[in-house]
Amino acid sequence: MRHIPAMWILLAVVVAAVDAVANSAPGYPNAQFLVETQELASWLGRRPELRIIDARDPGSYQEGHLPGAVNLPAGTTDDLGANRQGFPLPLTRAQRLLRIAGITASSRLVVYDEQGNLLAARAFYFLEFFGHAHVAVLNGGLKKWKAEGRPVTMDVPHVPDGDFTPVPNPPRVATSDWLLKNLNNPQVAIVDARSPAEYRGERVVGSRGGHVPGAVNIPWNRVLTPGESQTFLPAAALRQVFAEFKITPDRQVVTYCQVGTRAAEIYFALRLLGFKQVRLYDGGWEDWSANPRLPVQL
């Protein structure tokens, strides 16, 4: 019998194991939108183009953040008046925020928070709407990072002003007028990312209770694993969440919540799965419920 070197046997076993993992756990179509903590840790100090964005409020940022991270609070990326005009934020304000954060067109952006990727997803949406090509979310955020014993600092880095020029992408946003025109369009799926109580009108936050007619309710945290360090569901499980409501990549999907933060989590999950036609109704229930000419369903 021909002798086979042990090295080749070992290599065959390794290749088979890798193939088995790859076949049993297929990745997300847009896997580049998600960065694991181990991967980000290996980039620190080695990738000059890396810009880490902390999407939390300034107080939380000052208490401790990832090394090199700059603060771009998710709350500063939203403006109801601009939402009604089809923008997350007025263009001039967006450009100022991006400049202060030191963002350039070549920056590799990784955004994070400690609220189940909620604020990070909002920052992702804001950056994608304004045309940045290299944005990813840190899976599990600061909680997972700290649970693994990775470094945190209170040092605030000095970064030179960025020169990225934001270019709005209108197909990424929906206004109330756009949504009203498409309420009966079978090619448009509407996702309400609020709690079931808000969706049913049992808890009223806004001028009226209820939901946009025809919307299905997928609370924002349904796309996450349970536990302290919440990460996004594996691709197959994530697809199933949307498949339950017949939300498939061939349809255009609009997601909304109260003010555009929880909706961003669903938006990001859809983009991670490769959905191309995804809009965020940024005015959300705050805008819709305040307009008496717009219909409400209970």
Catalytic, out of 101, 257, 264, 278: 257
Calpha distance 3→15 (Å, rounded): 20
130 vs 34, 56, 167, 168, 196, CA distance in Å? 19, 20, 5, 5, 31
Q: Are 36 and 82 in contact (CB under 8 A)?
A: no
State the amino acid at position 284 in one-letter form: G
Length of the chain: 298
Between CA 190 and CA 25 the distance in angstroms is: 29
d(CA 196, CA 221): 12
Determine what percent of the chain falls in helix, strand and coil, rounding each to the nearest 5: 40, 15, 45
Instruction: Identify whether 138 is a catalytic site residue.
Output: no
The amino acid at residue 262 is R
Tell me the C-alpha distance between 179 and 279, whole Å. Answer: 10
Mapped onto helix, strand or coil, the DSSP state of residue 280 is strand
What distance in Å separates the CA atoms of residue 227 and residue 56, rounded to the nearest whole number?
20
Give the active site residues: 257
